[in-house]
Amino acid sequence: MPEGHSVHRIAGQFARHFVGNVCHLSSPQGRFGDAVLLDGHALVRSFAVGKHLFLVFDTGDSLHVHLGIYGAWDFAVSVQLDDTASTAAGRIGQTGGRGAVVGAHEDSLASIGAPRRTRLRMGEHDSVSVESSAFPPEPIGQVRVRILTNDAVADLRGPTVCEVVSAERVVELLAGLGPDPLVDRNGEERFLSRVKRTGTPIGRALMNQKIVAGIGNVYRAEILFRARLNPYLGANTLSDETLRALWKDWVGLLKIGVKTGQMLTIDGLTASQKRAALANRDDRHWVYRRASEPCRICATPIVVDIMESRKLYFCPTCQGVIA
DNA sequence: TGCCCATGGTAAT
DNA sequence: TTACCCTGGGCAG
């Protein structure tokens, strides 16, 4: 369930484990017949813009994926169990994960002479479990598309969009997206120019992917609180200084998200507080999903309202919202 | 077990 | 503005 940071991490997984390899595409669920169009071709590039993922194949066409609310990728890599535990953990280290310990029982397959391969699953937070099942593993759940190489597999479940698109169509799709801080060097100026053309409240503008790509409902609420900004203020009434600060805050939060895999939006934490926040989602945010709970700054109960068809959380006192 | 909810977006009305 | 898609986790009963 990603906002922009997750999709950049997914693109990174494909860059590390799939780019340069011939990929076998299939649709275990049977709902993606176009998998055959890319089956047997090499992946040459992966990249993300906002919440959109593009996997470019040597045919010139791309797989375009948008996860929506429910979508998820499940990655697994094949590792020779003859490798030591530290070697296995080292491989995962490349993904930013926490490493893995290979238990002695994992060697059991060796007793029957089977290839000593194991499976390293990389989940939402790159947490890793080591399983002794054969590679590739059986698909779990409703897998729309499976991308398989000799050493890695990626399963996609529940996406809003999963389609094969031409290079020209990729250009069209990108043209419809606002700036992404990790893609656009001139993103701040593009953000300002697009915000100033909209008459909607800033709480809506931040969710508009044509204005800024990658922000979702969590980051929206948190960015607005961090700026102590009233979500109902007209976006084009805000000063350049305020808008630039919003952009810079988003850039920083996105980088933290890509690095940690989690939307950690409370800063100024001690090391132990940070560990607690990473372990417990309830300690991770200023206002998101904290309706009726006391504001962490002023103790006013956090309010929830519907904006842009989504729940918007804010502190009426800190953010100056008059009831 | 079944219902509700969710970090999104599009098509229909 | 509303309906709908899609999947899995959490929780009440």
The nucleotide lying nearest A2 (C-alpha to C1') is B7
Strand C positions closer than 7 A to protein CB = 2-3, 5-8
Q: Residue A219: what pLDDT? A: 95
Catalytic-residue membership of A2: yes
Residue of least CA–C1' distance to C5? A160
Mean pLDDT by 10 residues, chain A (323 residues): 88 95 94 94 97 96 93 86 37 26 21 25 43 78 92 93 94 94 95 93 94 95 96 95 97 93 83 70 84 93 89 95 82
Q: Report CA-CA distances (Å) from A31 to A23, A43, A74, A161, A163.
A: 19, 22, 18, 12, 11
How far apart are alpha carbons A303 and A291 in whole angstroms?
5
Q: How far is the C-alpha of A181 from the C-alpha of A188, rounded, in Å?
A: 8
- In the prediction, which pLDDT does A80 show? 64
The residues of the protein lying within 7 Å (CB) of strand B read A 1-3, 6, 50-51, 66, 68-70, 160, 207, 209, 216-218, 263, 281, 289, 309-311
Taking the CA of residue A70 and the C1' sugar atom of nucleotide B4, their distance in angstroms comes to 15
| Structural domains of chain A, with CATH | 1-175 (3.20.190.10), 178-314 (1.10.8.50)
Which residue carries 């100024």 as its tokens? A268
pLDDT score for A2? 79
A51 is annotated as an active-site residue: yes
Element (H, E) at A311: strand A310-314
pLDDT for residue A132: 54
pTM across the whole model: 0.85
Before A231, cis peptide (omega within 30)?
A: no
A159 CA, B10 C1': Å apart: 13
A91 CA, B12 C1': separation in Å? 48
Residue A1: its pLDDT value, please?
A: 57
Point out the catalytic residue in the list A45, A190, A310, A311.
A310
What pLDDT, on the 0 to 100 scale, is given for residue A277? 67
Q: What is the structure's pLDDT at A81?
A: 54
A159 given a catalytic annotation: no
Tell me what pLDDT residue A262 has.
Answer: 85
